[in-house]
Amino acid sequence: MSNKEEWNRILQIIGDDACDEDKEFKGNCVRKFNFLRTIFYIVVFGSAFYIFQGGRLIPHDSTWLRLIVVAILLTEILYLKQKRVLHRELNRYAFRECRPDKGLSRYLSFVPTTLNKQMLWSVTQYNFGSILYRLGKIDKASKCLGLMQEASATANNMLIALHLKQLIALYYNDYDTVKSCADEGCKLYPKARHSIWNFKIYKDLQLYRDYAYCCINNDYEKIYTVLGTPQERHLDEVARQYYLYLTAKKLGDIENAEKYKKYISENAGTTWYGKAVEADFIPEEKPDNYPGYVVSDEKLHNPSKVDRERLKYLLIGVLIVLLFYYLPRLF
């Protein structure tokens, strides 16, 4: 399936909830990133051709070689710096602050600019699913999770799919699924790339497994200990206080319930947590395709080493290098 077709599937899920692009973000951050990435690739491939042609077409010169090294280093530094800026600003509202509406706007601004490049669709589906979940569009988040069923083959991709699945299960108080997501995450994490984000997801999976055990065993007092550590990210802290709020209500702890409710009401932004503490909140019913994602035993124990989308572009890169090496030898 082409990138455009994959993108249209996500747009169909978003539907009427699609919002205007963040023009300022697109005009500054995204365009600058795409420009610097293009320049970096031109310099790298141009330099590779100059080196591999072995002086047959263009004579080698020490001055040119020094300039090539400087150009590669300079463009790489600028490219990686802007990549960090883009990543921070793209995910700031979606995964750190309680503004999933603005996060959705930024992702709708960014993804169309990358459709002619390498796309990791399982990650994109997870990102949109997570944003829609935080907006309270649980049915649509579940549909994004469903798309990950066919796109996720590596341990990294399955781990993030389990994270989204667990979030949805928490919404429906499906504690058995919350636990199973954590258990499967334990098996996948040692095989996944140990990035900061994967480690955070792994810890979140285990944290809410412990919460689910307490709920199943009616040991609500223990939840105060399980969820006792404040979270670094604002969004995670609001979620933590929401589940503490539910616990306080179960225990009839009116003082703490009011304290958590006040914090959530003042800090929930455009997430569904703010609405959930109001008296007239009506949660969504479970979608027909719930839970929408299942990890097979085969994939759980033998995940793919390389994402198939990455593999395609790795092969293209190898072919380009071979072309640079053999083409000058024909002259």
Q: Same domain, yes or no, for 225 and 315?
A: yes
Q: What pLDDT shows up at residue 4? A: 86
CB 268 within 8 A of CB 97: no
Please indicate, yes or no, if residue 328 is contained in any of the structural domains: no
pTM equals 0.87
Q: In the predicted model, is pLDDT for residue 99 greater than 80?
A: yes
Q: In the predicted model, is pLDDT for residue 231 greater than 90?
A: yes
* Residue 177 binned pLDDT confidence (cut-offs 50, 70, 90): very high
Q: What pLDDT shows up at residue 67? A: 84
Closest CA to 47 of 29, 25, 74: 74
* Residue 57 binned pLDDT confidence (cut-offs 50, 70, 90): low
Token code pair at residue 321? 């290098």
- Domain around 230: 156-323
Element (H, E) at 209: helix 196-216
Q: In the predicted model, is pLDDT for residue 315 greater than 60?
A: yes
Q: Same domain, yes or no, for 319 and 249?
A: yes
**Beta strand segments in the chain, E:** none
Q: Same domain, yes or no, for 49 and 166?
A: no
Please indicate, yes or no, if residue 124 is contained in any of the structural domains: no
Distance of CA 173 to the CA centre of its chain: 23
CB 244 within 8 A of CB 255: no
- Peptide bond before 291: cis, by omega within 30 degrees of 0? yes
Please indicate, yes or no, if residue 24 is contained in any of the structural domains: yes
Q: What pLDDT shows up at residue 26? A: 83
Please indicate, yes or no, if residue 245 is contained in any of the structural domains: yes
Please indicate, yes or no, if residue 284 is contained in any of the structural domains: yes
Residue 298, CB-side half-sphere exposure with 13 Å CA sphere:
2
Q: What pLDDT shows up at residue 63? A: 76
Q: What is the count of structural domains for the chain?
A: 2
Q: Same domain, yes or no, for 178 and 107?
A: no
- Peptide bond before 328: cis, by omega within 30 degrees of 0? no
**Percent residues over pLDDT 90 in the chain:** 57
Token code pair at residue 145? 């999770």
Q: Same domain, yes or no, for 25 and 77?
A: yes
What residues form DSSP beta bridges with 154? Answer: 304
DSSP class of residue 256 equals H
Please indicate, yes or no, if residue 285 is contained in any of the structural domains: yes
Q: Same domain, yes or no, for 198 and 252?
A: yes
As a whole number, mean pLDDT of residues 134-154 equals 91
Q: Same domain, yes or no, for 23 and 88?
A: yes
CB 276 within 8 A of CB 283: yes
